[in-house]
A and B are shown apart, each in its own frame.
Chain A
Amino acid sequence: MLVVLGVFFPFAAAGLIPLLYRLIPNRRIGWFVMAVPLVLFAGLLSIVPGIAAGKTANVTVPWIPDAGIDLAFHIDGLSMIFGLLITGVGSLVVLYSIHYLSERESLGHFYAYLLLFMGAMLGVVFSDNLMVLYAFWELTSISSFLLIAFWYHRKGSRYGARKSMLITVFGGIGMLAGFLMLYSMTGTFSIRETITLAPELSEQPLYLAAMILVMLGAFTKSAQFPFHIWLPDAMEAPTPVSAYLHSATMVKAGIYLIARFTPIFGGESTWFWTVSLIGIVTLLWGSFNAVKQNDLKALLAYSTISQLGLIMSLLGFGSAALAAGTDAEQVLLAQAGFAALFYMVNHSTFKGLLFMIVGIVDHELGTRDIRRLGGLMALMPVSFTLAVIGSFSMAGLPPFNGFLGKEMFFQAAVTVSSGNPFTADGAALLFPVVGWIASVFTFIYCMIIVYRTFLGPRQPEKVDRLPHEAPKGMLVSPAVLALFVVGIFFFPNLAGKYLIGPAMPAVFPTLAGKPGLVPHIQAWHGFNTPLLMTIGVIAAGIILFVTFRHWRLIYRFPPFRWNLDTVYRGLIGGMETGSTLITKRYMSGNLRDYFVYIYVFFLAAAGGSLFLKGAFKPDFRMETIAVYEVTFVLIMTFAALAMPFVKSRITATLLNGVLGYSIAIFFIFFRAPDLALTQTVIETVTTVLFLLCFHFLPDWKPERAPARTKIINGLIALGAGAVVTGFALTVKGYVVFDSISGYFEDSYTLAGGKNIVNAILGDFRAFDTMLEVVVLFIAGIGVYTLIVLKAKKGGGDIEGK
Chain B
Amino acid sequence: MKGNDVILRTVSRIVVFIILTFGVELFLSGHNNPGGGFIGGLVLSSALVLLYVVFDIETVHQGVPLDFKKVAAFGAMLAVLSGTAAAVLGHPFLSQGFGYFDLPIFGVTELTTVTIFEAGVALTVIGTVETIILSISKDV
Contact = CB atoms under 8 A, between A and B. Distances in A.
5 contacts: A770-B79, A773-B79, A780-B129, A783-B135, A788-B139
Given A673-B34, A685-B45, A754-B32, A780 B69 contact: yes
Interface string B68-94: 010011011001100100000000011
Contacts of B69: 780-781, 784
B138 interface: yes
A789 to B, nearest CB: 9
Contacts of B139: 787-788
A681 B43 contact: yes
Nearest to A688: B49
Contacts of B112: 751-753
Interface in B12-61: 26, 30-39, 42-43, 45-46, 49, 53
Nearest to B94: A766
Contacts of B34: 673-674, 677, 755, 757
Given A769-B79, A769-B121, 13 more contacts: A674-B34, A681-B42, A692-B133, A751-B96, A754-B31, A755-B33, A755-B36, A758-B31, A758-B114, A766-B83, A779-B128, A780-B72, A780-B131
Contacts of A766: 83, 94, 96, 117
B30 to A, nearest CB: 5
B53 A688 contact: yes
B32 A777 contact: no
A674 B94 contact: no
B140 interface: yes
Contacts of A779: 128
Contact of A762 (B36, B135, B138): B36
A769 B116 CA distance: 13
Task: Classify chain A's interface size.
Answer: 35 or more
Given A763-B114, A773-B121, A685 B39 contact: no
B75 A692 contact: no
A594 interface: no
A624 B128 CA distance: 42
A762 B131 contact: no
Nearest to B74: A777
Interface in A628-678: 673-674, 677-678
A723 to B, nearest CB: 28
Given A783-B131, A784-B131, A763 B96 contact: yes
B132 interface: yes
B98 interface: yes
Contact of A755 (B30, B94, B127, B133): B30
B35 A751 contact: no
A684 interface: yes
A688 to B, nearest CB: 5
Nearest to B110: A752
Contacts of A761: 36-38
Closest 9 CB pairs of A and B: A780-B128, A752-B98, A673-B34, A754-B32, A777-B76, A762-B114, A766-B94, A753-B31, A681-B42
Given A753-B114, A755-B31, A776 B53 contact: no
B137 A692 contact: yes
Contacts of A751: 96, 98, 112, 114
A554 interface: no
Interface of A: 673-674, 677-678, 681-682, 684-685, 688-689, 691-693, 695-696, 751-755, 757-758, 761-763, 766-767, 769-770, 773-774, 776-777, 779-781, 783-784, 787-788
A758 B72 contact: no
Interface string B104-140: 0000001010100110110011011101110111111
Contacts of B129: 685, 780
A767 B93 contact: yes
Nearest to A762: B114
A677 B136 CA distance: 25
A689 B125 CA distance: 15
A689 B128 CA distance: 13
A684 B136 CA distance: 17
A781 B120 CA distance: 16
A774 B76 contact: yes
A763 B118 CA distance: 10
B36 A780 contact: no
Contact of B36 (A674, A693, A781): A674
A172 to B, nearest CB: 28
Nearest to B38: A678
B96 to A, nearest CB: 5
A165 B118 CA distance: 40
Nearest to B37: A762
Nearest to B92: A767
Which of A691, A693, A774, A784 gathers the greatest number of chain B CB atoms within 10 Å? A784
A753 B114 CA distance: 10
Nearest to A753: B31
A651 B68 CA distance: 33
Contacts of B38: 678, 761
Contacts of A692: 133, 136-137
A416 B28 CA distance: 79
Given A762-B114, A784-B135, A682 B42 contact: yes
Contacts of A770: 79-80, 83, 94, 117
Contact of A783 (B36, B125, B132): B132
Nearest to B50: A688
Given A674-B35, A677-B35, A767-B94, A788 B83 contact: no
A767 B72 CA distance: 18
A780 B128 CA distance: 5
Nearest to A768: B94
Nearest to B117: A762
Contacts of B75: 773, 777
A673 B129 CA distance: 22
A338 B139 CA distance: 67
B2 to A, nearest CB: 14
A788 B138 contact: yes
A307 to B, nearest CB: 47
B63 to A, nearest CB: 19
Contacts of B137: 692
A754 B76 CA distance: 25
Contacts of B53: 688, 691
A598 B129 CA distance: 25
Nearest to A676: B34
A692 B80 CA distance: 33
Contacts of B46: 681, 684-685, 688
Contacts of A788: 135, 138-139
A532 B133 CA distance: 80
